[in-house]
Amino acid sequence: MTLQMQWSLLLPVLLPVAAMVLVLVVDAVAPRARLAAPVIGAFGLVGGAVTALPGLVATGPRLTLCTPAPDGRCLWDGGPLASTLQVAALLATLAVLALMSIRRAGVIEVVLLLASASGAAAVVASRDLGTWLITLELATLPVIALVAWRDRRAAAHGALTLLTTSLVSFGLLVLGTALWVTATGDPTLTGQSLAAAWEAPETRTLAGLATVVLLAGLAFKLSAVPFHAWTPTTLTSGPLPVSALLASASKLAAVGALVVVLAPYDAVVGGRPGPHVVVSALVVLTVASMLVGTVMALRQSEVVRLLAWSTVAQAGWILLPLTALTVAGRQAAAAYALVYAVASLVAFAAVRAVHGWRVEDGRELTAYRGLLRRDPVAGGTLALALLVLAGLPPGVIGLVAKVVALRPAVAAGLWPVALVAVVAAVLGIAVYVRWFAVLFGEPEAGAPARPRSRRASLAVAVVGAAVLVVTSVLPQLLVGLVS
**pLDDT of the chain, 483 residues: tens digit per residue:** 566 788 889 999 999 999 999 999 998 888 887 788 899 999 999 999 999 999 888 777 888 888 876 667 788 988 899 999 999 999 999 999 999 875 566 888 999 999 999 999 999 999 999 999 999 999 999 999 998 876 566 678 888 888 999 999 999 999 999 999 999 988 888 888 899 889 888 899 999 999 999 999 999 999 999 999 999 999 988 888 999 999 999 999 999 999 999 999 988 887 778 788 999 999 999 999 999 999 999 998 899 999 999 999 999 999 999 999 999 999 999 999 999 999 999 999 999 988 876 555 567 888 888 888 888 999 999 999 999 999 998 889 999 999 999 999 999 889 999 999 999 999 999 999 999 999 987 776 656 666 667 888 999 999 999 999 999 998 888 777 666
Hey, what's the torsion of the CAs at 479, 424, 317, 327, to 10 degrees? -60
| Residue 459 CB burial class (10 angstroms; 0-12, 13-18, ≥19) | middle
DSSP state of 3: P
Hey, what's the torsion of the CAs at 429, 432, 436, 441, to 10 degrees? 100
- 425 sits in which H/E element: helix 415-438
**Phi-psi region at 306: left, alpha or beta (left = phi > 0; alpha = psi -120 to 50):** alpha
* Residue 291 pLDDT: 95
The pTM assigned to this predicted structure is 0.94
* Residue 258 pLDDT: 96
Q: How far apart are CA 91 and CA 251, in angstroms?
A: 13
Question: Is 390 part of a structural domain of the chain?
Answer: yes
Question: Is 103 part of a structural domain of the chain?
Answer: no
* Residue 444 pLDDT: 66
* Residue 1 pLDDT: 55
Number of structural domains (the chain) is: 1
Q: How far apart are CA 37 and CA 20, in angstroms?
A: 9
Helices 153-184 and 230-237: crossing angle in degrees, nearest 10, is 140
Say if CB 388 and CB 343 are below 8 A apart. yes
Q: How far apart are CA 96 and CA 221, in angstroms?
A: 19
In the beta sheet, which residues pair with residue 126? Answer: 76
Question: Is 372 part of a structural domain of the chain?
Answer: yes
Say if CB 426 and CB 295 are below 8 A apart. no
Q: How far apart are CA 89 and CA 253, in angstroms?
A: 7
* Residue 440 pLDDT: 87
Contacts for 149 with CB less than 8 Å, ≥ 6 apart: 108, 109, 112, 155, 239
* Residue 479 pLDDT: 74
* Residue 239 pLDDT: 85
Q: Specify the amino acid at residue 256.
A: G
Q: Quick one: which of 57, 58, 61, 115 has its CA closest to 89?
A: 115
Q: How far apart are CA 407 and CA 175, in angstroms?
A: 33
Strands (DSSP E) found in 176-303? none
Instruction: Give the CA count within 13 Å in the CB-facing half-sphere of 76.
Output: 23
Question: Is 160 part of a structural domain of the chain?
Answer: no
Q: Specify the amino acid at residue 99.
A: L
- Domain containing 324 equals 275-483
63-66 vs 74-77, strand pairing mode:
antiparallel
Helix (H, G, I), strand (E, B) or coil at 371: helix
Say if CB 95 and CB 248 are below 8 A apart. yes
